[in-house]
Structure 1
Amino acid sequence: MFKKILFATDGSECAKMAEKYAIELAKDENGEITAITVGDISYAAVPIGIDGTTMLQVTLADAIENETKNAEKRLNEFKQTAEKENIKVNTIVKIGKPDTEIIEESEKDYDVIIIGSKGLRGMERFFLGSVAERVVRYSKIPVLVVKNKKGEDED
């Protein structure tokens, strides 16, 4: 039923909990996992200096390089863990808006998305939502959202 699993990770504690579910489901279903992580560089898209253009390009290039390195490290660690369980793993690193990139990838013939939720609090949640909430809202396939162990907000 869930042979092609899209596991979205950001390296948070909730994502580490979701990792366990992805591995167990793949073992139970004799499935394979595609692990995706999306480097969100929106924090670097702020103009710096008087005109902002030259320094912004350097800042964005540095941010992309940094996010890509961190993402590759995170995915390689996951891949090693899953492969110890004899699970086939593909990895994808994207740079962009996490929910958008996850949804776009999910449209490529997956059976389920597994994602951790950080559980945003109060007004921040009301105005912004979370990546997991937007993935649930816009996904055309089932989504398993994994909260942290105690079900509490993570900060």
Structure 2
Amino acid sequence: MDAKPLLVAVDFSQLTPRTIRYAVRLAQGQGALVDLLHVMLGSLPAHAQANAPAEVLAKIRQGEEISALRALQGLMQTEVPEACRGRILLRRGPPADTICTVATEAYEMVVVSTHGRTGLSQILIGSVAERVVRHAPIPVLVVRGAGDPGDPIPD
């Protein structure tokens, strides 16, 4: 396969399988591979991280990584046909920034899902998908939920 792979950012939400299926359809049409990326945040509150022994933190992180890798492997096996299977990537950091950084590694496109946040939650929480769209160095496909009508088209 000579085409650049597609990078699918996976958050393990209900939209994850749908997002992967969109990427697979595109990859099959281009003869490309699908790489799955999950970005992990620190799971413990800052005060717990500051007070916990380093070996305890390391074991917690290792357990999280093993769990995430198993979930990614399961998704790769169930959602991506063998001919399209690429790499499984696990990173730590701010999700949008990390996705954009990984996207610089010779990918054709980033595929992400959105949860359709609007209003105050959009302002307070921010949207990973929106930040990726704004800052990614390559095209981004945003996959919406099946019932998400999106914003109306202005006149």
Aligned to 2:64: 67
Aligned residues: 149
Tell me how far apart the structure 1 counterparts of residues 124 and 59 of structure 2 sit (CA, whole Å). Answer: 29
Assess, with a 3 A threshold, how the Cα gap between structure 1 residues 84 and 69 changes in structure 2: closer, same or farther.
same
Tell me how far apart the structure 2 counterparts of residues 119 and 70 of structure 1 sit (CA, whole Å). Answer: 27
Aligned to 1:98: 95
* 2:37/2:90 contact within 8 Å kept: yes
Choose the corresponding residue for 2:107, options 106, 110, 135: 110
CA-CA distance at 1:136 after TM superposition = 0.7
**1:7 alignment partner AA:** V
Deviations 1:49-108 (A, max 9, x none): xxx734264664354224312320221012213553521311111122111111110011
Aligned to 2:153: none
* 1:44/1:59 contact within 8 Å kept: no
Aligned to 1:9: 10
Tell me how far apart the structure 1 counterparts of residues 27 and 103 of structure 2 sit (CA, whole Å). Answer: 17
TM-score (structure 1 length as normaliser): 0.83
Segments of structure 1 that go 5 or more residues without pairing to the other structure are none
Segments of structure 2 that go 5 or more residues without pairing to the other structure are 151-155
Assess, with a 3 A threshold, how the Cα gap between structure 1 residues 111 and 5 changes in structure 2: closer, same or farther.
same
Choose the corresponding residue for 1:132, options 98, 122, 129: 129
Q: What CA RMSD, in Å, does the superposition of the two structures yield over aligned residues?
A: 2.4
